[in-house]
Chain A
Amino acid sequence: MTKIAELYVGDTLNDIQLDPVSRIDLIKYAGASGDFNPIHTIDEEAKKAGLPGIIAHGMWTMGNLAKLFTPFYEEGFIQEYAIRFRGMVFLNDVVTLKAELKERDGDVLKFDVLAVNQDEKPVLKGQVVYKVA
């Protein structure tokens, strides 16, 4: 595996494609995070809220995306992680997680991160600042 500190601007981390989103994924995340907003787990509640069906917690997708960086833990840590939620993730959607190094400033690496669905539509976008030290 390439070291994160050896990446050049424009290099990308290996994409991760998640399995199709299942209800049990969201029930597990609700339990693990304590976010029991029913639009993420109960169809009727999602419909009452004007949605076609249950949607993933934005934080579920954000939590998943961080794992692009986990293999590099011996080199440093995520210092800043900023996300804008751009689109909803529905059951059976296939989400792909991406990161590209945009800028290097000494031991601070700035990545653009992105999660897209099966139609290449962004569901979240943001930055990760990785501190190597």
Chain B
Amino acid sequence: MKEMIGKASTKVKNTVERGAVKKFAEAVGDMHPIYLDEEVGKQSRFGQNIAPPTFARVFDYGVIEGLNLPNKGLIHGEQIYQYERPLLVGEDVYCYAKVSDYYEKAGAMGNMGFIVLENNGEDKDGNAVFTSKSIVILSEAYRKVQQV
């Protein structure tokens, strides 16, 4: 797994779709007009509706070649988002994933692996809109089954 550090996916163009934002806001019980009401968006400091802070979860970040981790059995340990500004409804965001670290530690679930995955989004000029990191835990049992 260590050899995966630094590997990244090819950027994928995503659009912050109005319908997807609405569905997401509903799913987290945050039906605020700043996400949903076009007039409120227009009148706001952002000039547009925005997306909830964890909406970036929805995007397609492409495939990191050689990284094959079925999600069954993975444990999500930590999640960190950093935003330059909120995501705007209707805008295009260019997203990619990257393995930024991997390490192993003995713990409650045997010899565990920790993979740090970045999921980042840029505007059309290549400026960062957000960066994010997920720390995903691979239990000893998972590592045996998946041979990683």
Please list the residues of chain A having a beta carbon within 8 angstroms of any beta carbon in chain B. Answer: 18, 25, 28-29, 31-35, 37-39, 45, 49, 58-60, 62-64, 66-67, 69-71, 73-74, 77-85
Contact = CB atoms under 8 A, between A and B. Distances in A.
B105 interface: no
Given A59-B54, A66-B53, A77-B86, A31 B81 contact: no
Contact of B52 (A45, A49, A63): A63
26 contacts: A18-B29, A25-B27, A28-B26, A33-B24, A39-B72, A49-B72, A59-B54, A62-B54, A63-B30, A64-B28, A66-B30, A66-B54, A67-B28, A67-B29, A67-B32, A67-B52, A74-B44, A74-B45, A77-B83, A78-B81, A80-B83, A81-B83, A82-B80, A82-B81, A83-B78, A84-B77
A111 B45 CA distance: 23
A132 to B, nearest CB: 11
A85 B27 contact: no
Interface residues of B, number: 32
A84 B78 contact: yes
Interface in B41-56: 44-45, 50, 52-54
Nearest to B50: A73
A66 B52 contact: yes
B57 A59 contact: yes
Contacts of B81: 78, 80-82
B129 to A, nearest CB: 12
Given A63-B57, A83-B80, 12 more contacts: A28-B26, A29-B27, A34-B57, A35-B57, A35-B71, A37-B71, A49-B72, A59-B79, A63-B27, A63-B54, A83-B78, A85-B79
B5 interface: no
A71 B31 CA distance: 11
Task: Pick from B28, B32, B79, B81 the residue with the most CB of A within 10 Å.
Answer: B28
Contact of B82 (A25, A32, A70, A80): A80
A35 to B, nearest CB: 7
